[in-house]
Structures are given as C-alpha cells and as structure tokens.
Amino acid sequence: MVFTDPNRLPPLLQVEHVSHHYPDGGTSVSNVSFNVCKGEFIVLAGANGSGKTTLLRLLNGLLHPSAGDIRYRGKPIIKNPEHTRKHIGMVFQDPDTQIVGETVFDDTAFGPENLKLPREEIDKTVHATLDSLGLGHMKDRCPSTLSGGEKRRLALSGILVMHPEIILLDEPFSNLDYPGAAGLLQLLEFLNRDGITLIAATHDVEKIIDKAGRMIIMQNGTIVADGPPSLHVQALEQYGIREPCASRYGMKPADWVNGRKRP
Amino acid sequence: MNFMNQLRMMTYASLFVALIAAGAFISIPVGPVPIVLQNMFVLLAGLLLGPRWGLASVFIYLLLGTFGLPVFAGGTGGIGRILGPTGGYLIGYLPCVYATGLIARKNKRSRLVDISAMITGSVILYAAGVPWLKFATGMGWEKAFMAGMYPFLPGNAVKIVAAAFIAGKLRPLMKG
Amino acid sequence: MTPFTYRKGESHYHRLDPRYKLIMLALVSVSVLQAAFIPLLVFSAALAQAMVRVGIHIPTALKHLKFFFLLLLLIFLARTVSEQSGDTLFKIYKLQVTTGGIRLGVLTAWRFLVVMLAGMIFSRSTRPSQVKSAAQWFLKPVPFIPEKRAAVMIGLAIRFLPLILQQAEELSLARKARGGDLRKNPVKRITELAVGLMKKSFRTADQTALAMAARGFSEDRTDPSFHPSRLDAAYLVLTGTTAILLFVC
C-alpha cells in the first residue's frame, strides 16, 4: 500500500488477505482485509460463529494466520509477539478467565510483572490505573467477589496498565446488567477520546453503535460490510444481527445510556 | 507454538492442584461409606499430565497444604498433617503420580495400560502410607493394614475403573 | 469459608512478613511435637490467645476439625495400648490400659492438635498472594525446582479452587434435579460428576492460558518484594526462644 498523502498517518493496523482455519475445521476467517487508523472506535458485528473472536485473536497474535499478513505499525505482528501484546490488549468475553491475580491489585500487576518492571514502578502504575478506573478502594478484594461490571473494569485495568494503543473487546456487554453496561460504555467512550483505538466484537450492536465511528459486519468468516454505522445499520438483520430498536422505527440510533439522540 | 503448549500444560497442572484439593471436599455416597475423590484426581493427574507435570501438580498441592492452606482431607492443612500418622499417604502421592504417569506415557495407550498404571500407583501409595501409619502410631502391622488399607480397597477399585473411563473421555479435550 | 481461610485483620500476625511467619510455624511445629506436658499446656494457653487475636472463633474452629478429631482418637487409642507403664487401669482381652499409656496417648494427640491450630493461625492471617511470594522465596535455593513457575502455579491453583468447588456444587445439584442420583452404579456416578466437572474446568484452563498469553505472560518476571520490620525480628526471637524452651523443658 502506498501513501500518497503525506498528512495522512499510516494505518496502525493493516490486515491483508488474512485467512485462518482451525485444524479441526471449526470457525475460521477467510480472506479478510482492512486497515485500522489511530483513534478509531470500530464495532465488529456478526452473529455467533461468524469469525469475530477468531479475527480478534489473530489481531493480537494469539492465533497465527494460515495465509495473509497482519502488521502493527508496519511490522508483522507474529514476528514480535511480546511487543504486540504490550500494545494491543484484549478483553475476553468472560472476565473470569482473564483475571489471574488473587487480588484486584495483584491482577492488575500481572502485565507489568511480565515486563519485569521494578517493583516500585509497578506499585505506582498499578495504583494510578486502579484509581483512574475507580477500583482503588477495592484493591485488596478477591476478584471472585466482584460484580460483573467491576470484573469487566478489572479486566480493562489489567490491560490499561500496559498503556496499550489498541484494545480489542470480545462481547464486552455479555452478562452485564444495565448499570454495568452503561458504566462500561462511558468508560470506553472516555478511553477512545483519550486516543486509544477500540475494536469491539459483538452481536449486541444496540448498546454501542451510537459511540462507534465505524462498523465492520462479518458473516461466515468474511467481511460483508465496512463503513459508518448509519450506512449499514439497516442491513444488520440480513446477517443475523439484531437491528437496534430506534433504527428499526426509522430513527437515528439513539444514545443507549441517556436515551438522547446524538447532537 | 512451544510457548503456548508449555503455558497450557502449566495451567492444566495448576488446575489439577485445585482438583486434588477440591477432591478432599467432594465425596460421593456409595452405600454407607462416602467415597472421597482426592486420590482419583492424583491418578488422573498422572494419566492426563504425564509424569513430570503430574509430579509438579502434586508437589504444589503438598506445598500449599504444608503452608497451612486447608487443602488436605477434611479441610485441614499444616505441617502437622504431613508429619502426622496419615502423612505417608500425602507424601506417597509424589511417587504414585510419577509412576502412574510414567507407565501410561511409556506404553501404547489403552484402557488396560491406564488401569495397570493406576494399580501400580495405588500400590505405591499404600506402600508409603501403611508403614508410616504403623510407625507414627506404634500399632502392629496387622492393625496398620486393617486401619490404613483394607477398608479403602473396594472404593479404590471403583475409582480406578471410573478414572479409566474419565481419562478416555478427557484426553481428546486436552490441547497441546 | 473455613477457619483456615484468610480474613483481613489488624493483628500483629496479619502484619508479619510471610517468610518469618513460615519459619516460625516450622519452629513451633517441630518443637511442639517434642514438648512435654506442662510446657505444652502453657504453650496451648498462649496459642488460644493468639487464635482469638487473629479472629478465630475457637468453638467454630474446633467444630470444623471434627474429622481431624477422629484421626486424633485413632492416634490416642494406638498410643494408649502400645505404651505399658505406670499402674494398670483395666484389661480387655489381651490389651492392657495403663496410666502411662493414657498419658502418652493424650499427649501425642494433643501435640498434633496444637500443630494444626498453629497452621490455622498462619493461614487465617496470611494472604494467599503472600503465601505464594513466600513459597517462591523459599524455593529459590532448591535445585531443579523453577521457583517462579511454582509461584505462578500456586496463584493459578488458588484461583481455580473456588471455581471448581462452585461447579461441583452446581453439577451435583443439576444431577439431582434430573434424578441422576437414582442411578446406583457408583462408577457411572463418579464418571458423570468428574467428567462434567473436568470438562468445564479444562475449558476455563484453556481460556486462562490464552488470556495469560494475551497479557504477555513471561516466566521471567518481577520478583515479589518483602518489607520485614522490627516486629518480625521480635516475633522470630520470641518464637525461637519458645521453641527451645519447648524442646528442653
């Protein structure tokens, strides 16, 4: 790809003709290409089994593509997995599987410990991260005693402490009640405004579509639509994804938290 | 992806530490005597993890118990249990899991191999447990066998047969 | 939740360095197993006070140990009949029960109980993550054992345990709801429960391994840090002296 416009930043992430097949012939991704620019907030929509999760895992280097190439800042991600995982964080669907520490503090410290940062520095950055997420007062709590929303925030804190450039989220709203989901949404919006690139895979588009600037729709492992959410929102149901209520009644997608339309 | 396989085996071995510990709490009533599943999980650790990772998981389990975490039978822990009269059964888990894992790994995979591996492991376990019981309590050999082996044999046989089925069902699920 | 489970607290025992605490526990355990009657009595009183301080409700704790008491009874009986000294109290068939036998039986069982209770004080007042850190520190000089990996495994095991117990409960309830308990074959019952339990937890383990990789797991990681204070030194000296006294008196 050649960049003729010198003012345009090169894409953060380049996905070129990527395919992936599981050895057992499970869900896979076939010939997927797209670019991600810094600061984007992308909804990756698709029914269960459409290949969203596989794609996310490919982007973070957990899976290797069978064909094609994924580059982060121009460098192939499989060449440098440690570098990739520091800069491209991933929030798993079930936060219980992601949390590995015995306390909130320990869990957030897991990433920096992997980087072998000095202990004092870890203490400082973990405290700062926990405070910024409003988890500071529960730093000694055992993660299994947290609520769903708190667990999700903890999962995010374990990633944010690494100061990533991109965060991948797999079904971020599953098993969250209304306040939990609303809180998470506000947090994501805040992070995005802070310059972090977000890619959220979900089949529950309604909650997030209003915040996202771009929607990629997947079906059977391929990308079937890519563009501004408003352009494709009405096509969602034909790909097996529930269309947001407002859009179904011919309105613009509403702000899910406040119920107001976007200014 | 060697790193990923290593990481996965480590996670499985940690899972077995937790299963062995949980096995002290999970009992299934069979007739009047409840069967405690702990030593079945030790045997399964040998079958499913192999000798080295099996040994690692039993070692960590014993370490946690020695440090006083309540992972030994009846929700107790502490060095007192290791030094106590039933300590031989705990220390015996180490050679037991290693032998079970080694026999299962070195032979062609079959239910018969699994069962003989577990029988060997169990024999080793009693060989460690019964003499320890005898010397710690000062009872005679005959009484040590009466108290520390004979009553458990039927339950043990049931667990070995069950473990052979379980191993057959779980092996395909384990990646790496 | 058992008397062995860690609970937050403000006692000295909560504040001590976990490595010192483990050394103290080992000193106490070894010396108590040698202790004579009177010193053990004195030590038990001190231990009971320590239990109260760390927030252990003694009656609840003793109730929790009911299976352990069966074991103690076995020790008591075995010791009683194998020791022949002092006056003969009574005779059953060939077994002679003597005052010396009873004395030794009580003493042995009591020693094991004290060791158990000392362990309870430790685990009640020490965070699992501290146990993990201390384990890593003690394993460092041990050859052939990668102490950092051991520490990670301890952390994971502590995390998996409540999940497994919870799943076991759900499974046995689910089985009861479907009338599974009516089936009498024990092999089938065990297989069903264990396969259900392990299938689920293996999936969790797979996910956890993946998540750890995603979070950049590396075995070469930052070591835990310890901050021993004068309190630790004081307690160590106190415990060391007590251990020597228990040994020689």
Instruction: Tell me which residue in C155, C222, C225 faces A100 most closely, judged by beta carbons.
Output: C155
Among B10-14, B152-156, C92-96, C228-232, which stretch is predicted with the lowest mean pLDDT?
C92-96
- In which domain, by residue range, is C106 found? 9-126+240-249
CA distance linking residue B2 with residue C31, whole number of Å: 47
pLDDT for position B112: 95
Q: Is position C76 within any domain?
A: yes
How is A81-132 classified by DSSP, letter by letter? Answer: HHHHHHHEEEE-SSHHHH--SSSHHHHHHHHHHHTT--HHHHHHHHHHHHHH
How many domains would you assign to chain C? 1
CA distance linking residue A109 with residue A123, whole number of Å: 8
Q: Is position C217 within any domain?
A: no
Looking at the complex, report in whole angstroms how far the Cα of residue C73 sits from the nearest Cα belonging to chain B: 11
pLDDT for position C18: 94
Instruction: Tell me which residue in C8, C162, C220 faces A116 most closely, judged by beta carbons.
Output: C220
Looking at the complex, report in whole angstroms how far the Cα of residue B108 sits from the nearest Cα belonging to chain C: 23
Question: For residues C109 and C76, is the Cβ–Cβ distance under 8 A?
Answer: yes
CA distance linking residue A155 with residue C167, whole number of Å: 22
How many domains would you assign to chain B? 1
Q: Is position C20 within any domain?
A: yes
pLDDT for position A254: 62
CATH of the domain at B56: 1.10.1760.20
Instruction: Please provide the distance, in angstroms rounded to a whole number, between the alpha carbons at the two ends of chain A.
Output: 36
Taking contacts as CB-CB distances below 8 angstroms, the residues of chain B near C64 are: 75
Q: C216, A140: Cβ pair inside 8 Å?
A: no
Q: Is position C135 within any domain?
A: no
Question: Which of A183, A130, B85 is closest to C76 using CA atoms?
Answer: B85
CA distance linking residue C155 with residue A230, whole number of Å: 46
Chain C residues whose C-beta sits inside 8 Å of any chain A C-beta: 8, 127-129, 132, 155-156, 158-159, 162-163, 204, 207-208, 210-218, 220-225
Looking at the complex, report in whole angstroms how far the Cα of residue C143 sits from the nearest Cα belonging to chain B: 14
Q: Is position C21 within any domain?
A: yes
Q: B173, C199: Cβ pair inside 8 Å?
A: yes
Which pLDDT tens digits describe chain A residue by residue (263 residues)? 444 454 556 789 999 999 998 777 666 899 999 999 999 999 999 988 889 999 999 999 888 899 999 999 988 998 888 888 889 999 998 888 888 888 899 999 999 999 999 999 999 999 999 999 999 999 988 888 898 889 999 999 999 999 999 999 999 998 888 888 898 999 999 999 999 999 999 988 888 888 899 999 999 999 999 999 888 887 788 887 877 776 766 666 667 666 544 44
Tell me how far the alpha carbon of residue C117 is from its chain's centroid.
9
pLDDT for position C112: 85
User: C23: alpha, beta or left, given left = phi > 0 and alpha = psi -120 to 50?
Assistant: alpha
How is B54-77 classified by DSSP, letter by letter? Answer: HHHHHHHHHHHHHTT-S-BTTTB-
pLDDT for position C181: 61
pLDDT for position A257: 66
Taking contacts as CB-CB distances below 8 angstroms, the residues of chain C near B165 are: 187, 191, 195
Q: Model confidence over C152-208: pLDDT tens digits?
A: 999 899 888 888 888 888 887 777 777 666 666 888 888 988 999 999 899 889 989
CA distance linking residue B81 with residue B79, whole number of Å: 5
| Partner C contacted by A51 (CB < 8 A) | no
Q: A62, C128: Cβ pair inside 8 Å?
A: no
pLDDT for position B10: 96
Per this entry, what is the length of chain A? 263
pLDDT for position A260: 47
Helix (H, G, I), strand (E, B) or coil at A43: strand
Q: Residue A57: closest CA among chain C residues belongs to which residue?
A: C214
Q: Is position C216 within any domain?
A: no
pLDDT for position A258: 65
Q: Which positions 86-115 of B are in contact with C (Cβ < 8 Å)?
A: 86
Instruction: Tell me which residue in C128, C217, C224 faces A102 most closely, judged by beta carbons.
Output: C128
Q: Is the pLDDT of residue C148 over 90?
A: yes
Angle of CA points C244, C246, C249, to nearest 5°: 100
Q: Residue C212: closest CA among chain A residues belongs to which residue?
A: A98
Q: What percentage of chain B carries pLDDT values higher than 70?
A: 94
Q: Which one of C152, C153, C215 makes the best mutation probe of the A interface by having the most chain A beta carbons within 10 Å?
A: C215
Find tokens 């690692």 and name the residue.
Answer: B56
Question: Which of C65, C243, C228 is closest to B78 using CA atoms?
Answer: C65
Taking contacts as CB-CB distances below 8 angstroms, the residues of chain C near A111 are: 215-216
Taking contacts as CB-CB distances below 8 angstroms, the residues of chain B near C198 are: 19, 44, 166, 170
CA distance linking residue C139 with residue C133, whole number of Å: 10
Pair of tokens at residue C85:
């000294």
Q: Model confidence over A18-71: pLDDT tens digits?
A: 999 877 766 689 999 999 999 999 999 998 888 999 999 999 988 889 999 999
pLDDT for position A1: 43
Q: C132, A102: Cβ pair inside 8 Å?
A: yes
Q: Is the pLDDT of residue C6 over 50?
A: yes
- In which domain, by residue range, is B169 found? 3-174
Tell me how far the alpha carbon of residue A96 is from its chain's centroid.
17
Looking at the complex, report in whole angstroms how far the Cα of residue A17 sits from the nearest Cα belonging to chain C: 23
Helix (H, G, I), strand (E, B) or coil at A14: strand
pLDDT for position C183: 64
What is the pairing mode between strands A166-170 and C88-92?
unpaired
Pair of tokens at residue C240:
């060391």
Taking contacts as CB-CB distances below 8 angstroms, the residues of chain B near C118 are: 78, 80
Q: Model confidence over C48-77: pLDDT tens digits?
A: 999 999 999 999 999 888 878 887 887 788
Q: Model confidence over B100-129: pLDDT tens digits?
A: 999 999 999 899 999 999 999 999 999 999
pLDDT for position B102: 97
